């Protein structure tokens, strides 16, 4: 079985890297562990794209990448696109003001 390519939407990548930068200021080792945990959680999705939990936003799936972080993705055009990344305690999806 050929794995699907995993791509990150620009905004999702920036959110993820923002968390990494914030954590790295306090503990570079913890930031590296989070980075690895997220990458490792997405690897099986490349082989089993519908293995995530159906998302709160229609057409998406969610995978708990770490007890505190969730990657939100869509399966489209033969690839996995990570469309959002959030802390588990944040309201998701955000409500419109």
Q: What is the pLDDT along the chain (97 residues), one digit of tens a residue?
A: 799 999 999 999 999 999 999 999 999 999 999 999 999 999 999 999 999 999 999 999 999 998 999 999 999 888 999 999 999 999 888 776 6
Its pTM surpasses 0.75: yes
Sheet order of strands, 5-8 included:
5-8, 79-87, 69-76, 61-66, 53-54
CA torsion angle for 91, 20, 31, 75 (degrees, to 10)?
Answer: 70
Q: What's the pLDDT score for residue 97?
A: 60
CATH 3.40.630.30 fits 5-87, yes or no: no
The residue ranges of every structural domain in the chain are: 5-87
Query: For the residues of 47-91, what is the DSSP string, one character each?
Result: H-TT-SEEPSSTT-EEEEEETTEEEEEEEETTEEEEEEEEETTS-
């Amino acid at each position: 079985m050929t794995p699907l390519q995993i791509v990150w939407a620009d905004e999702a990548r920036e959110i993820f890297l923002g968390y990494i930068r914030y954590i790295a200021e306090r503990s570079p080792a913890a930031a590296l562990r989070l980075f690895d945990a997220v990458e490792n959680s997405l690897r099986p999705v490349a082989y089993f794209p519908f293995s995530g939990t159906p998302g709160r936003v229609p057409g998406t799936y969610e995978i708990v990448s770490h007890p505190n972080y969730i990657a939100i993705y869509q399966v489209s055009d033969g690839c996995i696109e990570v469309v959002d990344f959030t802390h588990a305690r944040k309201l998701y999806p955000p409500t419109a003001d």
